[in-house]
C-alpha cells in the first residue's frame, strides 16, 4: 500500500531523475544516483524503473575503446629496448614530463617526453625488470628523481636517475617480484609489492622497512 509519505518519497526520486537527465553525460550523473540511492535505501521501496532506463541510456552512449581508438593518434614512438617492455610509468619532475620503462632486456630507461629522447639508462642489471614506478615520495621530501623497480632477482631497487645512482634495495621476497605500487595516500610513502612467492608485502619508503607480509594466496 502506498502511503502519503511514500508518494512524497517517490515524487522526490522522480524529480531527482528529471534533474539528473539535464546534466551532460558524465560520471557525475552516476555518482549522484548512487549517492542518493544509498541515502534512501533504508526505505526499501525497490528500484525505480526510470533509474534502469537512465543507466541503460548512459551506458549506451558512454565512450568505448573503438571510439577512443578512432579519435586518437600516435604522438611519438620511443625506441631503444631490445626485448619485451613489461612496464611503463609517467610523471613530472620540475615541471618536465618523463616516462620510465622496464624491459626483459634487463634495463630501465627514462625518456624526456618534451624532447622525445632517452635521457638515462640503467644497464648491467642481472635480471629481467618487471615493474617500474616513479617515486613521488622521494621527490617531494628529498627533491630526488627516483624510480623504483622490481625484477626477477627477488628484490626491489630504488634508483636516482638524475645522478645515475642506486639508493637502496628492499629484500625479503623469495621469488621474482612482478608488481609494485606506491600508496595514493601519505604522499606515496608506502609501497606494496606482489611476488611469485605468493605473498604481498607492505614497505615504508621513509624507513626502508618491511611493515607487513600478507599471506593467503596459493599461486602467483
Q: What is the pLDDT of residues 18-33, one digit of tens each?
A: 555 554 455 565 566 5
Beta bridge mates, 193? 180, 201
pLDDT at residue number 8: 54
User: In this structure, are 172 and 93 located in the same domain?
Assistant: yes
**Which of 70, 105, 125 is at the close of a domain?**
70
CA distance 137 to 118: 23
**91 within domain boundaries:** yes
- Whether residues 19 and 98 share a domain: the answer is no
Q: Where are the alpha helices (DSSP H) in 72-145?
A: 136-142
112 inside domain:
yes
One domain for residues 89 and 144? yes
What would the grid cell of residue 210 be? 618491511
- Whether residue 78 lies inside any domain: the answer is no
Report pLDDT for 113: 94
> How many structural domains are present in the chain?
2
CA distance 165 to 160: 5
pLDDT at 10: 54
Distance CA 95, CA 92 (A): 6
**Amino acid 71: pLDDT:** 74
Same domain as 184, residue 105: yes
Q: From residue 167, how far is each of 164, 170, 208 by CA, in Å?
A: 10, 10, 11
Query: What pairing do the DSSP bridges indicate for beta strands 200-204 and 190-195?
Result: antiparallel
Say yes or no: 153 and 195 in one domain.
yes
**In this structure, are 41 and 142 located in the same domain?**
no
pTM above 0.75, yes or no: no
The closest of 162, 27, 201, 139 to 192, measured between CA atoms, is: 201
Q: Could you say which of 15, 44, 70 is where a domain stops?
A: 70
In-domain check, residue 76: no
pLDDT digit string, tens, across residues 185-215? 999 999 999 999 999 999 999 999 999 999 9
User: Which residues lie across from 39 on neighbouring strands?
Assistant: none
pLDDT of residue 170 exceeding 90, the answer is yes
Q: Could you tell me if residue 77 is inside a domain? A: no
From residue 140, alpha-carbon distances to 89, 122, 166, 203 in Å are 17, 23, 18, 18
| Residue 14 within a domain | yes
pLDDT per residue as tens digits for the range 105-163: 999 999 999 999 999 999 878 899 999 999 999 999 999 999 999 999 999 999 999 99
Confidence band of 96 (pLDDT split at 50, 70, 90): very high
Please tell me what DSSP assigns to residue 6.
Answer: H
Q: Among residues 12, 41, 70, which one ends one of the domains? A: 70
Neighbours of 148 (CB within 10 A): 29
Q: Would you state the cell numbers that stand for residue 191, as one nine-digit string?
A: 609501497
**pLDDT at residue number 102:** 96
| CATH number of the CATH domain containing 140 | 2.130.10.10
Q: 40 or 176: which carries more pLDDT confidence?
A: 176
Provide the pLDDT for residue 44. Answer: 46
Based on the domain organization, do 55 and 131 belong to the same domain?
Answer: no
Q: Do both 93 and 188 map to the same domain?
A: yes
96 and 47 in a single domain? The answer is: no
Residue 220 lies in a domain: no
Mean pLDDT confidence for 86-114: 95
Q: Say if residue 114 is in the same domain as residue 31.
A: no
Q: What is the pLDDT of residue 75?
A: 86
Q: Is the same domain home to 143 and 48? A: no
pLDDT at 14: 54
CB of 175 within 8 A of CB of 196? yes
Structural domain containing residue 153: 85-214
Residues 114 and 169 in one domain: yes
For residue 80, being part of any structural domain is answered with no
| Average of per-residue pLDDT across 39-53 | 54
* Euclidean distance between CA atoms 116 and 110, whole angstroms: 11
Amino acid at each position: 500500500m502506498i502511503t502519503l509519505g511514500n508518494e512524497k518519497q517517490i515524487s522526490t526520486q522522480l524529480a531527482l531523475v528529471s534533474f539528473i537527465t539535464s546534466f551532460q553525460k558524465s560520471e557525475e550523473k552516476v555518482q549522484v544516483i548512487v549517492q542518493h540511492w544509498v541515502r534512501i535505501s533504508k526505505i526499501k521501496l525497490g528500484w525505480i524503473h526510470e533509474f534502469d532506463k537512465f543507466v541503460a541510456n548512459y551506458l549506451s552512449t558512454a565512450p568505448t575503446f573503438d571510439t577512443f581508438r578512432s579519435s586518437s593518434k600516435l604522438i611519438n614512438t620511443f625506441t631503444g629496448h631490445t626485448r619485451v617492455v613489461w612496464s611503463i610509468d609517467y610523471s613530472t619532475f620540475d615541471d618536465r614530463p618523463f616516462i620510465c620503462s622496464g624491459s626483459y632486456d634487463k634495463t630501465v630507461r627514462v625518456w624526456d617526453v618534451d624532447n622525445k629522447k632517452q635521457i638515462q639508462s640503467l644497464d648491467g642489471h642481472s635480471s629481467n625488470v618487471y615493474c617500474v614506478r616513479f617515486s613521488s615520495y622521494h621527490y617531494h621530501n628529498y627533491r630526488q628523481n627516483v624510480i623504483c623497480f622490481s625484477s626477477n632477482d627477488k628484490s626491489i631497487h630504488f634508483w636516482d636517475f638524475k645522478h645515475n645512482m642506486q639508493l637502496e634495495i628492499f629484500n625479503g621476497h623469495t621469488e621474482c617480484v612482478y608488481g609494485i605500487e606506491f600508496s595514493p595516500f601519505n604522499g606515496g610513502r608506502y609501497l606494496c609489492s606482489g611476488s611469485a612467492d605468493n605473498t604481498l608485502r607492505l614497505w615504508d619508503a621513509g624507513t626502508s622497512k618491511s611493515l607487513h607480509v600478507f599471506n593467503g594466496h596459493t599461486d602467483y
